[in-house]
Amino acid sequence: MQSDRRKFLCNLVAGGLLVNAKPAFADGSGAVKAIAFDAFAVLDPRPVFALAEKLFPAKGAELAAAWRTRQFEYTWLRTVSGRYADFWRVTEDALAFAAKTLKLDLTSDQRARLMDAYLAIRCWPEAPAALHTLKDAGVRLAFLSNMTQKMLEAGVRNSGLEHVFDDVLSTDRVSAFKPDPRAYQMGIDVFGVKREEILFAAFAGWDAAGAKSFGYPTFWVNRLNQPAEELGVSADGSGATLDDLVRYVGRKRS
């Protein structure tokens, strides 16, 4: 499954969906005026997958892995084929497919509970302090995510982060999921600063590669300690938490 995902992403590169741009910090200044966050760099999805294990003992981890993989493959396939549907629909379709693949009897109640778990997620433990540190330093902050506006706003509300973000950008605005350049362009359009002044904080390796290819300075919040995707580009920095991101930004702004 991992090798299939890499092959698919490599095909996106070959097809021009990931377009190489000017390397981040090429001039050595590295000024960071704004940060665009993938949702899961801030919001912790683990309770969703813990619920899968609770509902399907001994099968939950396998269901969660298949669900998560198909979830993002559907976003890429829908973008490439021009058949956009929002992330809620994609997530529900991916759950149904994963359950069928594993021959699990997914009831309508179980499906609803797993989907609604996305509306109950909260931020990672260190996120509030780290985000406030960045905001207090004058860095503008926004989500730039495949998730729907409703999902993002629920996560912000659940986490008590209502006054932290300058904007909440869902790919629904452009009807194209990351790593399509139209999705990443939202950050430039909203922040109104140069591309190289916007740091993208990715959760997934493929998103880090996509943002870097678009031309954003990129920091990979690699919470799961995953290897980098083999896509010919690397994030400018990486760390396990937002505390690492704060230190990275501090060095770039000093």
Q: Which residues are catalytic?
A: 38
Q: How far apart are CA 48 and CA 98, in angstroms?
A: 15
Both structure tokens of 4: 């299939």
Of the candidates 160, 253, 243, the one whose C-alpha atom is nearest the C-alpha of residue 199 is 253
Which tokens is 66 given?
């298949």
For residues 176 and 164, what is the distance between their CA atoms, to the nearest angstrom? 26
Query: How far apart, in whole angstroms, are the C-alpha atoms of residue 139 and residue 182?
Result: 23
Q: How far is residue 97's CA from residue 70's CA, in Å, rounded to a whole number?
A: 8
Residue that is written with structure tokens 């992330």 in the block: 87
130: helix, strand or coil: helix
The rounded Cα 245 to chain-centroid distance in angstroms is 15
Residue 45 backbone dihedrals phi, psi, to 5 degrees? -85, 0
- Chain centre distance of CA 231: 17
CA angle 250, 201, 81 (to 5 degrees): 160
